[in-house]
Amino acid sequence: MAIVGELYRIKQRDFSGKLREMTDPHIIYVTDLVSCSYKRSMRLAFPLMSFRFEPPLVLGDLVHAGLGSLLSEHGWETEIPVEKKYSIDGEEYILKGRIDLLKRGKNGKPETIVEVKTSRELPENSPREHHAMQLRIYMQLTGASRGYLLYVTPERLVEFEIEQSSISIENLIRETVYNLQAPRYDWECRYCNYRKICPYARTSKRMA
């Protein structure tokens, strides 16, 4: 298992390297703002439960790496870290994220952002609301004027242009910190690592 084992060790090292950051209560990720607010609380309390090594996730990493390698030769920057400090009710937080693809304008400022999403099939009601919100947050943080969601599946390669929209990032942080959106979407619980120990988990019966 030379390759599978190496991929596992790479994922494990990456996870271990981020563990301290993942359990810092003053760090919030952009993905936290577009998902169940209690999921962050569970991650802070049970961080090891968030480690997953599964084929769909590995495939997603490979697609991101491949696109990044290919497009970096054509003016695109890849895996761009972003962060910004916010004060919420007197408490300081750092919002952190990572942009998949970014292209700058002639003035050197961010102009276009692309978020890449992989799945088995193109999601219904694409582009999904939480994906669009994530992209808009990145656009607002960087000042980029254009944004695209790129969906990659075995049968489809589809991109959607997402228009700019003013978002109150402070309110989203407040919702997350004070656990006001648990869950944010009914379907989240089906895919959550913490659902078996979560007091807010919605079973199929409760969701019906």
CATH number, domain of 54, equals 3.90.320.10
Mean pLDDT lowest for which of 52-66, 80-94, 110-124, 191-205?
A: 191-205
Looking at residue 207, its pLDDT comes to 44
Which range of residues forms the domain containing residue 102? 2-207
Dihedral, 6, 11, 16, 21 alpha carbons, nearest 10 = 160
Reading the block at residue 195, the tokens are 């659902």
CA distance 194 to 177: 18
Task: Give backbone dihedrals phi and psi of 81, rounded to 5 degrees, phi first.
Answer: -75, 140
CA distance 16 to 20: 8
The number of folded domains in the chain is 1
Q: Residue 177: how many CA atoms within 13 Å on its side-chain side?
A: 21
| Average pLDDT of the residues in 45-51 | 94
Question: Which of 17, 39, 23, 18 has the alpha carbon at shortest distance from 175?
Answer: 39
Strand segments, DSSP code E, in the chain are 27-29, 77-88, 91-104, 110-118, 146-152, 157-162
The more confident residue out of 85 and 165 is 85
Q: Is residue 170 over pLDDT 90? A: yes
CA angle 100, 151, 36 (to 5 degrees): 75
Under DSSP, is residue 77 helix (H, G, I), strand (E, B) or coil?
strand
Q: Is residue 37 over pLDDT 60? A: yes
Dihedral, 127, 44, 203, 186 alpha carbons, nearest 10 = -30
